[in-house]
């Protein structure tokens, strides 16, 4: 994770999983929420995407109940490529093929082991460029 900051944020439905992931990955910067009290997921998606866009090497992890709301909100921001995953193989591929800079997890539908493996795969994978680069440029 050299030369990049990894951010994480969630809504209330993702809070429990986010808390567990921060214990496993203490180097990740937490942007909230800080409880399981109801909040609006777009607020946290926007907060995280602003930080990710400050430096080309930065990446983020968003968590909500299904992951769909966070995905939609994050992808509204130009320069963000957020991918919703439910396993490590997909997490690896969104980096390699889609140059994703935000990993989105479905807090209510993924267990901690698969979430941990997905984060590890996302953070350790690199964009393959080549044929994928021209596709990314069309977005």
**In this predicted model, what pLDDT tens digit does every residue of 77-124 receive, in sequence order?**
999 999 999 999 999 999 999 999 999 999 999 999 999 999 999 999
Task: Look up the domain containing 121 and give its range.
Answer: 6-137
pLDDT score, position 44: 98
Q: Is residue 27 part of a domain?
A: yes
Q: Are 61 and 71 within 8 A, CB to CB?
A: no
Asked about 97 being catalytic, the answer comes back as: yes
pLDDT score, position 95: 95
pLDDT, tens digit (0-9, with 9 covering 90-100), for 3-17: 689 999 999 999 999
Total domains present in the chain: 1
| CA-based nearest residue to 68, from 5, 11, 135, 127 | 11
Q: Which residue has the higher pLDDT, 124 or 131?
A: 124
Q: Is residue 1 part of a domain?
A: no
Mean pLDDT of the region 12-40? 97
* CATH number assigned to the domain comprising residue 26: 3.40.1400.10
Taking the model in full, what pTM does it have? 0.94
Tell me: pLDDT of 1 over 50: no
pLDDT score, position 108: 97
| CA-based nearest residue to 34, from 51, 18, 52, 50 | 18
pLDDT, tens digit (0-9, with 9 covering 90-100), for 54-72: 998 999 999 999 999 999 9
Local structure of 14: helix, strand or coil: helix
Looking only at the bridges linking them, the beta strands covering 102-106 and 6-10 are unpaired
In a 13 Å sphere around the CA of 109, the CA atoms on its Cβ side amount to 12
Beta bridge partners of 59: 6
- Of 12, 46, 97, 132, catalytic: 97
Spacing of C-alpha 5 from chain mean position: 12
Tell me: pLDDT of 2 over 80: no
pLDDT score, position 99: 93
Q: Is residue 52 part of a domain?
A: yes
Sheet holding 29-30, edge to edge: 29-30, 6-10, 59-64, 102-106, 82-84
Q: Which two tokens stand for residue 2?
A: 């050299």
The verdict on whether omega for the bond into residue 90 sits within 30 degrees of 0, i.e. cis, is no
Position 126 confidence tier, pLDDT thresholds 50, 70, 90: very high
């Amino acid at each position: 994770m050299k030369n990049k900051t990894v951010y994480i944020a969630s809504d209330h439905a993702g809070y429990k999983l986010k808390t567990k992931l921060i214990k496993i990955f203490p180097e990740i910067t937490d942007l909230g929420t800080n409880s399981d009290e109801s909040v609006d997921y777009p607020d946290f998606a926007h907060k995280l995407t602003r930080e990710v866009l400050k430096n080309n090497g930065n990446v983020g992890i968003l968590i909500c109940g299904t992951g769909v709301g966070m995905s939609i909100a994050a992808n509204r921001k130009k320069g963000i490529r957020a991918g919703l995953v439910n396993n490590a193989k997909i997490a690896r591929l969104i980096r390699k093929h889609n140059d994703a800079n935000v990993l989105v997890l479905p807090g209510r539908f993924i267990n901690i082991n698969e979430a941990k493996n997905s984060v590890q795969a996302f953070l350790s994978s690199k964009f393959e460029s080549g044929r994928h680069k021209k596709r990314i440029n069309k977005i």
